Structure 1
Amino acid sequence: MEYQLYAIDPILRPFIKVICSVDNRSPIIVPNQLRVLPDTCVELFINLCPPQQIAIPDGNTPSLSRSFVTSRMNSFMDVSTQDNVSFVSVCFASGQAYQFFPVSMHDISNQVINLRDLWGARADDMQECVDKAATMQERISLVQQYLIQQLYKSVAFDASVDFCLRRMQETNGMLLLDELANQVGISNRQLARRFNQYIGLSPKEFARITTFTNSLVNLKKYPSFTLTEIAYESGYYDQAHFIRACRTYSGLTPSQLIGNEQVLFCF
């Protein structure tokens, strides 16, 4: 399986974390299932082959077109791999996807949505152009052009939400939300409403997921640490709280996560 990263256009860099392509034309003898953990990110997929099967948290497997969007807010998703995998992926930076999709992010949280339902005919136009492109680099350039056009059409930007996102990421979710609301001069209720509109989660839940994703980074960064040490390093009160968060957001214990090749977290 070939995995390739691509340069992000300077206009898009504040909003996009990763652009990549994945290509595999070899037969898969034993179907594989990957569990993708929540990371508060929205990801756009443009497939050149039939799309993968994705089970969303309610247990359903939606019928997907070749261009679709996943919103991994605070629930994991199970993906079944198959033969002839070939797609372009755009992973938006945490909390930045709302400027590309004209919907409340709360309405698509933890869902898999066909791009046509969000962009209308423009989604079909982009898919057609990508299919006709001769190389993967041309496809990446086309996708970025469409994203820039969509960004220029957007009227959604909230400086208070952007500030709060930065503060939560700087502190790994370990900060007082009352204090955060005061810093931007709005009430807790107003902050919650804006987060649900633009991010898809409440500020409290976003902070919890930020702490959880930091704990996963620490699991990789400090392989010699005990679970108690990882818990304290990540900001949890104790090991029990850390284990509970792992079960909630991954369906697994920390021990089951370590070295598990069928679990994917994109941080």
Structure 2
Amino acid sequence: MNYQTFKPHNDLRSIVKFYWTLEVLFDPKNQKQKIVPDGCIEMTFNFGDKIKRYTSETNFILHPNAMVMGQRTKSFNILPVGNVNTFAICFYPIGFANLVEIPLENLVDKETPISGLFEQAEAYELEQQMVQAIDTQERIDIIETFLLKKLNKKNTISHIVKSTVDTLLKTNGTTPINVLLKDDISKRRQLERHFKKQIGISPKQLSKAIRLQATLNLLLNKKSETLTAIAYESEYFDQNHFIKDFKDFVGVTPKEFVNNEHMSLSALFYKEIL
């Protein structure tokens, strides 16, 4: 696997976390790979062979070549049918709502072709430019021109959403939502409504995804030696609580995740976070 990450232009750093590329040569022995929620929306361009996303143990759909993957509330399995050659934009939780007008709850747990989110002519032109680009830097230049143009036309994220997301990111999802809102029921309803539209999922779901992301980083980079230490550092009530939350999101326990051949792609992503 050849996985690389790239930082965005300064004018986009508030909405784009990073760009990434992945190249993998086909191997008939390749296993399904489990992808876990990370609290981010991604726009991906596939220049290689098709990629399956499994909807059950045996049933699958094929990813569109140019698509947006909305917020994810559960893990899922993918398997390329041939060579992988992908370029992707990883948006911060508050990032993608600055580019489109539709409620982002419509995109949750789905792969949506970019032609369904932007004008068909501009979506087609963007996809063709990305396909014809000679290297990654040219693709970054193309996508940044597109994003900056779209940003100039769109509204910004509401203050209550932005401040909540900022706090969740700073605290790795450990701050309870009721603490953020000081148990104000009216604010909670307002936040839930805005989150569904501008993030796609609830504040609690995003908090869990961000916390999981930080926990996986600790687990894979061995910054904490034991599960108890990881649970403590991630501010779980105890190790059992940590293991339960982890299994609910990932589908396996933390011990089963490490060195699992079905998790190698997720492990690669989390080890290489910028």
Q: TM-score, normalised by structure 1?
A: 0.88
Tell me: CA distance 1:184–1:86, structure 2 relative to 1, closer, same or farther (3 Å).
farther
Contact 2:94-2:157 at 8 Å conserved across structures = no
Matching of residue 91 in structure 1 with residue 85 in structure 2: no
CA shift in 2, pair 1:59/1:66, >3 Å? same
Q: Name the structure 2 match of 1:164.
A: 164
Contact 1:20 1:89 in 2 (8 A): yes
Q: Report what 2:111 is aligned to.
A: 112
Report if aligned partners of 1:33, 1:79 keep a CA contact under 8 Å in 2.
Answer: yes
The equivalent of 2:230 in structure 1 is 230
The alpha-carbon deviation at position 98 of structure 1 amounts to: 1.5
* Partner Cα separation in structure 2 for residue 5 and residue 88 of structure 1: 10
Q: Which secondary structure does the structure 2 equivalent of 1:11 belong to?
A: helix
What secondary structure is seen at the aligned counterpart in 1 of 2:86? strand
| Contiguous gaps of at least 5 residues in structure 1 | none
Question: What letter matches 1:73 in structure 2?
Answer: R
For 1:86-142, what per-residue CA distance to the aligned partner results, in whole angstroms no more than 9, with x for missing partners? 221111123322112322111211221111111131221101112222333212211
User: Following superposition of structure 1 onto structure 2, how do residues 12-31 of structure 1 map, counting pairs within 5 Å?
Assistant: 12-24=12-24, 26-31=25-30
Letter in 1 for 2:5: L
Q: Secondary structure at the match of 2:77?
A: strand
Instruction: Show the 5 A alignment for 1:82-231.
Output: 82-121=81-120, 122-182=122-182, 187-222=187-222, 225-231=225-231
Shift of the alpha carbon at 1:18? 1.5
The DSSP-based 3-state class of the residue aligned with 1:153 is: coil
3-state DSSP of counterpart to 1:187: helix
Q: What do residues 28-73 of structure 1 show as CA deviations (whole Å, max 9, x unaligned)? A: 2323321111111111111223331123589863343310111243
Alignment of 1:27-46 (within 5 A): 27-46=26-45
Is 2:89 aligned against 1:53?
no
Query: Do the aligned partners of 1:71 and 1:110 also contact (CA within 8 Å) in 2?
Result: yes
Q: Which moved more, 1:27-36 or 1:180-189?
A: 180-189
**Unpaired stretches in structure 2, ≥5 consecutive residues:** none
**For residues 232 and 86 of structure 1, do their structure 2 counterparts lie closer, same or farther at Cα, with a shift above 3 Å needed?**
same
Say whether the 8 Å CA contact 1:40–1:71 is kept in structure 2. Answer: no
Deviations 1:140-177 (A, max 9, x none): 21122112212222124212211111111222222242
Query: How far apart, in 1, do the equivalents of 2:111 and 2:38 lie?
Result: 15
Residue 243 of structure 2 corresponds to 243
Q: How far apart, in 2, do the equivalents of 1:7 and 1:210 lie? A: 20
Q: 2:98 & 2:56 partners in 1: Cα distance?
A: 25
Q: TM-score under structure 2 normalisation?
A: 0.86
Q: 1:210: Cα distance to partner?
A: 2.4
Aligned to 2:68: 69
Describe the superposition over 1:217-245 as per-residue Cα deviations: whole angstroms up to 9, x where unpaired. 22234466332222122111111111111
Q: In terms of mean alpha carbon deviation, does 166-175 or 192-201 score higher?
A: 166-175
How many residue pairs end up in the alignment?
Answer: 266
Would the alpha carbon gap of residues 23 and 171 (structure 1) be closer, same or farther in structure 2, given more than 3 Å must change?
closer
Equivalent pair of 1:32/1:81 in contact (CA under 8 Å): no
Distance 1:111 1:143 in 2: 22
